[in-house]
């Protein structure tokens, strides 16, 4: 009887460990492949030049249009998400602090929002665009992506804010602060590192998402000079180049993918870094 137990225990220890290590292996493999394929075609001009006329047939140029477009869209969308999301998160943690049930309901709905597929936002954005008489443009792209990333900003920031001890708020209120002042002066300060993490997460999502900008941002070889010009995005740029029948163009898709991966890696790692810094240098 005992032998069977020991055997079973050993097997599962091995199995579960193998599962764990294989996940690390999978990640390593993905990054390895992307970088290996991508770095061979990655040149400086890829990053610094716009595609020339013949770019999609193997001609000169780079993906600066997409890099710029993506940065603009992600940046603009993050800004909107902040304007809407930060006050919302602060509200949940300050004004609603006494209404536990409402708090929980709101968080429950927000969590469910986080799961909505980006293509739904894309379709909605497209509908909105037509209704407002806009054409595929930077602005339409920014608005659509902001729908996508606002729940992310709210919930991540909210997670951090909820760990701030209530005592701090109570102290502020008894000193004469209003609820809103408590929210902005105290919660925001205390949770600032968490805010940075939320911004990074949202930005990372915004820059990598394709389905939401597919219909709404359009595509162009130029860098948009104002809001109603179409904008190229890195994910779409990769996608279009990859579908090309010409091998050189496909190679360049890998390079663009490497660029995107690097951007996302930097964002993920710095988000985690800031999250850690929050838990260290903070009032406990």
Partner 1 sequence: MISRDIQSKFTGSWMLVALAIILLFPLIIGLALLLKSIPLLNNSSLTSLLFSGNWAPNDGVFGFWPFLYSSLYVTILSFIFSAPLCLLAAIYLTEFASDKLIRIMHPVIDILAGIPSVIYGMWGIIVIVPLVGEWLAPLFGITSSGYSILAGGIVLAVMCIPYMLNMLIETFKTIPYGLKEAAFSLGATQWETVKHVLLRKGRPGIISAFGLGMAKAFGETLAVMMVVGNVVQITANPFKAGYPLPALIANNYGEMLSIPLYDSALMFAALILLIVVLLINLIFRYFIIAANQAK
One of 63, 69, 71, 121 touching partner 1 (CB under 8 A): 121
Cβ-Cβ contacts under 8 Å for 88 (sequence gap 6 or more) = 154
Tell me the Cα Rg of the chain.
23
Nearer to partner 1, 7 or 57 (CB): 7
Most distant CA pair in the chain, distance: 75
Residue 210's nearest CA partner among 168, 260, 263, 251 is 260
Which one of residues 1, 3, 4, 19 is an interface residue with partner 1 (CB under 8 A)? 19
φ, ψ for residue 246, nearest 5 deg: -90, 125
Would you count residue 80 as binding partner 1 (CB under 8 A)?
Answer: no
Write out the binding residues for partner 1, residues 30-59 only, by CB under 8 A. 30-31, 33-34, 37
150-179: contacts with partner 1 (CB under 8 A):
150-151, 154, 178-179
Residues between 221 and 250 that touch partner 1 (CB under 8 A)? 235-236, 238-239, 242
C-beta of 33: minimal distance to partner 1 in Å? 6
- Which is nearer to partner 1, 23 or 54 (by Cβ)? 23
Q: Which residue stretches of 137-246 are H helix?
A: 138-161, 166-174, 179-181, 188-190, 192-208, 234-242
The answer to the question of residue 115 lying near partner 1 (CB under 8 A) is yes
Q: Which of 272, 259, 275 is nearest to 71 (CA)?
A: 259
Alpha-carbon distance 196 to 153, whole Å?
A: 10
Q: Is 24 in the site for partner 1 (CB under 8 A)?
A: yes
5 counts as binding partner 1 under rule CB under 8 A = yes
Question: How many residues form the binding site for partner 1 (CB under 8 A)?
Answer: 90
Name the segment binding partner 1 (CB under 8 A); options: 48-56, 108-116, 162-170, 222-230. 108-116
When asked if residue 76 is in the footprint of partner 1 (CB under 8 A), the reply is: no
Query: What is the spatial distance between Cα 268 and Cα 72, in angstroms, rounded to a whole number?
Result: 19
């Amino acid at each position: 009887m005992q032998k069977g137990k020991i055997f079973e225990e050993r097997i599962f220890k091995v199995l579960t460990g193998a599962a764990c290590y294989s996940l690390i292996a999978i990640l390593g493999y993905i990054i390895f492949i992307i970088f290996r394929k991508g770095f061979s075609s990655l040149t400086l001009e890829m990053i610094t030049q716009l595609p020339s006329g013949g770019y999609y047939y193997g001609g000169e140029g780079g993906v600066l249009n997409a890099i710029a477009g993506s940065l603009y869209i992600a940046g603009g969308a993050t800004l909107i998400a902040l304007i809407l999301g930060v006050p919302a998160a602060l509200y949940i943690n300050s004004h609603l602090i006494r209404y536990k049930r409402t708090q929980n309901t709101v968080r429950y709905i927000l969590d469910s929002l986080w799961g909505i597929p980006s293509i739904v936002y894309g379709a909605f954005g497209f509908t909105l665009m037509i209704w407002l008489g806009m054409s595929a443009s930077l602005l339409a792209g920014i608005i659509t992506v902001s729908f996508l990333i606002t729940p992310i900003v709210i919930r991540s920031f909210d997670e951090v804010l909820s760990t701030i001890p209530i005592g701090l708020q109570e102290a502020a209120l008894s000193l004469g602060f209003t609820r809103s002042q408590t929210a902005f002066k105290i919660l925001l300060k205390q949770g600032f590192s968490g805010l940075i993490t939320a911004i990074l997460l949202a930005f990372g999502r915004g820059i990598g998402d394709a389905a939401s900008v597919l219909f709404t941002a359009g595509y162009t070889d130029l860098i948009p000079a104002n809001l109603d010009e179409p904008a190229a995005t890195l994910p779409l740029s990769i996608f279009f180049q990859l579908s090309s029948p010409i091998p050189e163009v496909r190679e360049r898709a890998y390079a663009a993918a490497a660029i995107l991966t690097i951007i996302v890696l930097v964002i993920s790692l710095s988000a985690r870094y800031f999250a850690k810094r929050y838990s260290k240098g903070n009032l406990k």
